[in-house]
Amino acid sequence: MIKLMKSKPVVIIGAGIGGLTTGTLLAKKGVSVEIFEKSKQIGGRTAAVTYRNHILDNGFHIMPFYKKSAIYEVMKEANIESRLKLAIVSDIAFYDGSGFHKYPKGITDILQMSLIPFKSRLSLLKILLPMAFTSIDKTEELDKIPLTEVTKKLDDHSKRFFDAVCMLAFADTPDHISLGEFARTIIRANPFKGGTSEFAYPDMGGYDRISHVMADYIREAKSDIHLGKSIKKISISDGKVNGVILNDESFMETDCVIVSYPAYHAINQLFDDGIFDNEFIQKINRLDKTTSVVEVHFALSKQIDSRQVVFPVGKDYASKGIFFISNITPSVSPSGEHLLIVGTPVKPEETDNPLRIKEIVTQMKQELSEIYPEFNSSLLWERAMAWKLVEAIVKEPGLVWKNKMPHSVENIDGLFFVGDSTISYGIGTDSAAHSSILAHPKIMKHLAK
């Protein structure tokens, strides 16, 4: 066991999945942390709200890799995994305009996939099988290659399948995705390599239950989470962190700060000029390529489908994914009411355009009533949300994995970065938790100095 010499607390900026997974791993090692969160809620981008007695996620979240996910690994490390009840999300279907088709749970299911002709299934397998059995190290050689390099030769049927998979796994289109990142996802989904293609969702309310489980553990370990407190500056002298300045101008002494919000914002906000050289800042600013979405919650008086997720494919659907949240976990809705959320990717500027959002909602309602004739008569209310920043993860060729923000920077002792913009694979919450697992040994090494 490493003997820790620190008496000053470790400061974590942000109580999203990145900050809380790092806090959990440190609390488990007996390190006292002080987490500062500028909003009044924990959870960051996963924070939920209660609206008309329904628990509404901040946009739909799904946990890839179920109990093989990085979040679950962190919880297991802290022996708190039994506090999180997880529902498996496995009843997933495609809708192609004329009917529903089962979503393949694993690579072998692709052979039976009715969505596309048999010949197209074989050409898909030709691509996916070698990926599933390659090594994570080998995928690094593919990081600079676009996924479309292999999908461009496919017929339109197989391309539709890739579109839907990329929407589920990356909330993006294949032309934005690095082949290396895609291959790592396929490896992690391969049960013969210790992976799983299953998805999960908390079976106890909204997605931010995950954050609450970790926050409880951190508080039980006598660490603190300060809500509504923002950090304004990180004070650095002689190449070492020596404290943080809060928004109320108070100063807190510390020699270890972990930044857990998108690094391309943090490095431009939290430091005096000259701390980072321009070349480094430019390199990190290149990561500012967010995906944006419009997601609409619909509450219904009737269950219009018993499935958990439906992906409309093939036509120009605005409804790219229909997530029946109360079919996954009924605890999000009051008895007799049903909640679904429908999402579509948009250009970042569209998220500021109320007219465009209204158009999208109208189109979604039209599509839903075509797929489900009972939709209109059972609609109680709808609530649209537009998200400019979904993931701070660049999935694009050349900007993934080790090209992301490093967890520590040369010449500044005691400064660390975690969260989904930092080195990690996977997407979204999985990548934020993975970054904490990767950064943890470095932080512990610093604390043991």
Ligand X SMILES: Cc1cc2nc3c(=O)[nH]c(=O)nc-3n(C[C@H](O)[C@H](O)[C@H](O)COP(=O)(O)OP(=O)(O)OC[C@H]3O[C@@H](n4cnc5c(N)ncnc54)[C@H](O)[C@@H]3O)c2cc1C
27, 34, 37, 425: residue in contact with ligand X (rule CB under 6 A)? 37
Query: Pseudo-torsion of CA 265, 269, 272, 274, nearest 10°?
Result: 30
Strands 10-13 and 257-259: parallel
- Stretch in the footprint of ligand X (CB under 6 A) among 11-19, 87-95, 215-223, 397-405: 11-19
d(CA 172, CA 244): 37
Q: Is 23 in the site for ligand X (CB under 6 A)?
A: no
Separation in Å, CA 57 to CA 14, 25, 51, 297: 19, 25, 10, 9
With CB under 6 A as the contact rule, which of the stretches 32-40, 75-83, 117-125, 409-417 interacts with ligand X?
32-40
Beta carbon of residue 42, minimum distance to ligand X (angstroms, whole number) = 7
Phi, psi of 259 (to 5 degrees): -90, 130
CB of 129 to ligand X, least distance (A): 26
Q: What's phi and psi for 321, nearest 5 deg?
A: -145, 130
Q: How far is the CB of 308 from ligand X (least distance, A)?
A: 13
Residue closer to ligand X by CB (options 150, 328) is 328
Give the total of residues touching ligand X (CB under 6 A). Answer: 35
Q: How far is the CB of 21 from ligand X (least distance, A)?
A: 8
Beta strands in 106-246 (DSSP E): 199-202, 224-227, 231-237, 240-246
**Residues in 244-273 at the binding interface with ligand X, rule: CB under 6 A:** 260-261
Q: Which of 54, 61, 157, 338 touches ligand X by CB under 6 A?
A: 61
Lookup: tokens for 206: 């909204």
**Residues 198, 28: Cα–Cα separation, whole Å:** 28
Kindly state the smallest distance separating residue 377's Cβ from ligand X, in Å.
Answer: 28
Which residue among 17, 131, 300, 437 contacts ligand X (CB under 6 A)?
17
Which window, 16-24, 72-80, 107-115, 271-279, contacts ligand X (CB under 6 A)?
A: 16-24
* Sign of the torsion formed by the C-alpha atoms of 438, 441, 444 and 449: negative
For the chain, the distance separating the N- and C-terminal CA atoms, rounded to the nearest angstrom, is 13
Name which of residues 152 to 211 contact ligand X (CB under 6 A): none
Nearest residue (CB) to ligand X, 113 versus 439: 439
| Single-letter amino acid code for the residue at 298 | F
Contacts of 6 (CB under 8 A, 6+ apart): 31, 255, 256, 447
In the chain, the amino acid numbered 67 is K
Within 410-429, the residues that bind ligand X by CB under 6 A are 419-420, 427-429
230 makes contact with ligand X (CB under 6 A): yes
In the list 10, 11, 12, 15, the residue contacting ligand X (rule: CB under 6 A) is 15
Instruction: Give the length of the chain.
Output: 449
Work out whether 18 is an interface residue with ligand X (CB under 6 A): yes
Tokens 């997530």 map to which residue? 323
Q: 210 or 368: whose CB is closer to ligand X?
A: 210
Residue 321 as a binder of ligand X (CB under 6 A): the answer is no
Provide, rounded to whole angstroms, the least separation between the CB of residue 419 and ligand X.
Answer: 3
Binding mask 277-316 for ligand X (x = CB under 6 A): ----------------x-x---------------------
Name the minimum Å distance from CB 276 to ligand X.
17
- Residue whose pair of structure tokens reads 């942000």 in the numeric block: 14
**Any contact of residue 58 with ligand X (CB under 6 A)?**
yes
What is the C-alpha separation between 425 and 391, in angstroms, rounded? Answer: 13
Closer residue to ligand X, CB minimum distance, 290 or 333: 290
CA 419 to chain centre: 10
Contacts of 342 (CB under 8 A, 6+ apart): 295, 296, 298, 319, 321, 322, 323, 364, 368
Q: Which of residues 356-395 bind ligand X (CB under 6 A)?
A: 387, 390-391
Which residues are at the interface with ligand X (CB under 6 A)?
A: 13-19, 36-39, 44-46, 58-62, 230-231, 260-261, 293, 295, 387, 390-391, 419-420, 427-430, 432
